[in-house]
Every structure is written in structure tokens, then in C-alpha cells.
Chains A and B, each alone.
Chain A
Amino acid sequence: MQPRRQPPPAPRSGPGNPRPTPLLALLLLLAPVVAPAGSSGAENPAQPQDAGVPRRLLQQAARAALHFFNFRAGSPSALRVLAEVQEGRAWINPKEGCKVDVVFSTERYKPESLLQEGEGRLGKCSARVVFKNQKPRPAINVTCTRLIEKKKRQQEDYLLYKQMKQLKNPLEIVSIPDNHGHIDPYLRPIWDLAFLGSSYVMWEMTTQVSHYYLAQLTSVRQWKTNDDTIDFDYTVLLHELSTQEIIPCHIHLVWYPGKPLKVKYHCQELQTPEEASGTEEGSAVPTELSNF
């Protein structure tokens, strides 16, 4: 894991103390600074919560937004991971769900690229996320600053596409990564594309309390296509943190560089397969935001 190349910050403490930014400092004046004797609990639906309370909720919202963003971007070379939640507010209605505004920073999923791109290169995102109790598919509105130049991203996507097309079929994959955490560079494109497809699944399944990580790919199968698209089936194991459960999902995706991603999936806990297409209207368009 790459160390963060910034001046050493104060380490993060419990929910009362996300690392302060100037904006956040203002909010913190309203909230108790010393930790954590539990949440301040107020649940008046009309009032925003203090930043002090639901660090976990802000993180959930950031995660959901980021999965959605990755899916919408449809670019396996431009995947992002959560760096840090910076500020946010939440409106909680215990009967219905909650609405969360959150600002967070991201970094590239590919660790190597941190060295190429220059130090401390972080993207910034702001999102509004609405979780509905007992319902999947949080509604997401997210915008992020551009992290990678569009042309470079297209080049890398196309390179990945070529690598996928050159793979010999049938692919004899046991698991990616292997049990020791190693991913063969030859197999890396498969993993990145699988992560992209899994982002769709993880977006849909993230709630106020559940969140997921892609643990392992356990089978891969690529189909020949008539139209040059990448078409493949794979089985992933998702790790849900609050219950610690491992959830096998079967995912089928179709991809072509620059085109929206098409995903179908079926996870063991859900009984019905889900279908999705990237042609729905969405708002996850990377733009330059001058105030960041």
C-alpha cells in the first residue's frame, strides 16, 4: 500500500474527529471534539446532523457514491478508491431512510500510477446519497474532479481492451488474486474489469449499514463476440463488513472502451437476477470544478 506523500497529519480518531479541514473546523465548533461516548442520537428528520455524529454514515454514503461513479465512468483504467471523507451532513428519518451530503477525496485504484502521476494526486467528489430503509439501490448524485486526462484514460482503456482480446481461451483461472494476494500481471486486466463490473453490484447492495469489498475472483469465462465487445462471465466473492459474510455473485458483463458498461448479476443472497444497462440517465460526469 503506498504511503501518503503529504506532511504527516494527525492520525484519525473516532467518529468525533475526522481529520480537520478548514471548512470542517467550522462544523466541529458545533460538535463535541473529544470522542466517542456514542452518537449524539438526535433524529429530527428536518434537521441536519452534526459532522460529529455519523462518520460511519458519511463513509457509507461515500462508498455507495464511489461504486456508482466507477460504474458510470465505465473505465477499468480509471477506477477510484475512497481516500478520505472530508465533510458531510445527514438528514435521518428513522421510518424511511436518510439523505446524506458528503464530500470526499479519492485516489486511483492502481497503486503504480501514484508514482507516475506525481505525488499526492487526489480527486475530489461531492455526492448526495439517499438510502431507503430495506430497499437496495441508493439514489446517487455524484460529481468528481478529473483525476486522469481523458486522452490518457482512453489510451489505457484501449490497451486493456487489447490485452483482454489477446487472452487465450479457455482461461484456466483458479482464483485472482491467488491465496497469497498475488495477481499475475498477465491477469491484471481481468481483475480490473471484474472490479468495474462488481462496482455496479456493490453500488446496488450498499445500504446505511452494509458495505462491500471485492475479495476474490473465483472463475472467469470469456465469450467470443461478433461485434468486438468484451463479453465475460465471472464469479466473485464479495466481503460484507458488518456481518463479515462472504457473498458469491455471478456477474455477466459486456464492455467496449468508451461505451456504457452492461452488467447482469446474481448474488447468492438475492433470489432474483438483476439487470442493468449503462444507458440510464445519470449524473456521474467528471467535470472540472474550479472551487476545489
Chain B
Amino acid sequence: MSSSTKWVKSGTSVPAPQTRACWPPATVRLAGSAALEGKGQLRFTSGRWSPHHNCTQVATANDTAVRGWDTRSMSQIYCMENAHGQLVRDLDFNPNKQYYLASCGDDCKVKFWDTRNVTQPVAALEEHSHWVWNVRYNHSHDQLVLTGSSDSRVILSNMVSISSEPFGHLVDDEDLSDQEERRPEDKSQEPPQDGVIATYEEHEDSVYAVDWSSADPWLFASLSYDGRLVINRVPRALKYHILL
């Protein structure tokens, strides 16, 4: 069952309806609603299903805060206040690691959170020079993080230390032949580092959307305001490094 979320903007504090669409799209009915308490004009700017909790958890971005909701009781689980200085533009969950999610916003940063400890981000990236509009984890290798920003750049980052394979691909000793036994020593001597893998500057205007291909885990696309769609690959060296 695939799931998608539509994000709806609402200008008042009236309970904001959330809709869920699921196959088959015969009927769409309101499954539950939750109210956002608070002063001022609160809005839901973005939302995402958590892939881990059997479709019971949703995370939403509300202006500057990120909240998590339990759909069974429609109550708030966690809230990261003031995640980004001005506005949180997008969220994404780590497909392999529970409790980890990434958010990006108008302070030009991408922050990675552990939902069990919401006071402080686990990591932060500050590579962009203007608002970051999208952040996406690679579906299978969660150390690859893609971000698109209105400074017309797409940046592919390697967040190994907080991924599900911080030490690279570990192999059992019995599976190795004599020749291959030497390689883990090589790899263990140089653990992969966090950092920017590549910056793609083919766009001339703000990049508003980036995403990974669901067919090939090494392809991604980015879309900018001037109508340009650019499709890129992960550099080959890194791909083999991750695979082997």
C-alpha cells in the first residue's frame, strides 16, 4: 500500500482537515482530524508519513515547529520548537533508521533530528546560501541526502555518521575468501566521512523540487523555476564504495 499526503494550508485555528488517499482511490473519506492549539495564525506547511510505525505516525511542519502526530489518537507525540528560524519548508524520514528525520527551512540549514530527543538536532548542514526547499533521503542508502534550494543549487551530501551503516558495509568473516579478507582492513582504516559529495549548479533559477528515482537508487532529478528538469547520478566512485 502506498501512501501520499496532501498538504493543506489553513489560516485559522480551526481544526485542519487531513486527508489520506489509499488504493483503490474509490472513496476518500475523512479518517480523523486534529486541532492545532495556539495563538496567532498557525498553519500546516508540510507533512510526511513515517515509514516505520505501520502508518500510525505523521510528522507535520507548522511554521517554525515540527510536530509528530499519532493518527490513532490524533494527539501530538513530539514537537521540535523553533526547528528553523523562520519557516520549515520540508521534512523527510530516514527510511532505514527509526526515529530519525530531516528537516529544512528558511534559515538555509538542513537539520537532522532524533525524535526521542527533540531539544537538539543530531546534525546540521549549512551548505546552502538561501532557503532550502526540499530534503530527500535516498530510499535504500540513507547516507545519501539530497537538498534543493533557491540559491539554484542541488547538493548531494553524505551523512554517514547518522546513517544506518556508519562504518560502511560490514561483511561476516566466514563469507570472505582469503583474498577478500584483506579488504576490510583497508576499509576500516578510512571510515567514510560526513560531507558534501557534489554540488550541482546546472540550474539558473531557484530549485523548488528534488527527488530520488524509485527505479534506480542512484538517479535523482531536480526541477527549477525556469522549467528546467535535470537528472543526475551519484558519482560512480561513491556508488562502488557504498556497494562494496
A binds B: no
